Amino acid sequence: MLVESILFVLVGLVAGAAALVGLPRYFRAPRPLVVGTALAAAPLGGAVAHFCLDGRYPVVAVAFSALTAGVITSLLARPDLAAGRAPAHRHHPHRAGAHRAPRRHRPA
């Protein structure tokens, strides 16, 4: 379990660094938060996989650790704040059809 734990931490570091290097404009959170989230998620996911699989498949546990780190780290991504993208609000006042005249009711 010691070797797996070291691998889980390394997977977390790689996942956090890959998120920051691969998509830096999506992660507006501070860098230590992104890497720390991956560092916390990878050992947690790896430990769950290790105990669920009864320690028989360490490669699967490491793969699940990477998957967990990627999914939990992606929760910090903010593609709506990426440079060059317009806000995608649902009721944006500048969209076509947003300023319609109010309907008038006909008298009965």
> How crowded is the C-beta side of 74, counted as CA atoms within 13 Å?
6
The pLDDT tens digits for 48-61 are 999 999 989 999 99
Whole-angstrom distance, CA of residue 106 vs CA of residue 108: 6
Indicate if the pLDDT at residue 37 is higher than 80: yes
Q: Model-level pTM?
A: 0.70
DSSP string, the chain: -HHHHHHHHHHHHHHHHHHHHH-TTT--S-HHHHHHHHHHHHHHHHHHHHHHTTTS-HHHHHHHHHHHHHHHHHTT--GGGSTT-----TT-TTSTTSSPPPP-PPP-
Res 73 pLDDT > 90: yes
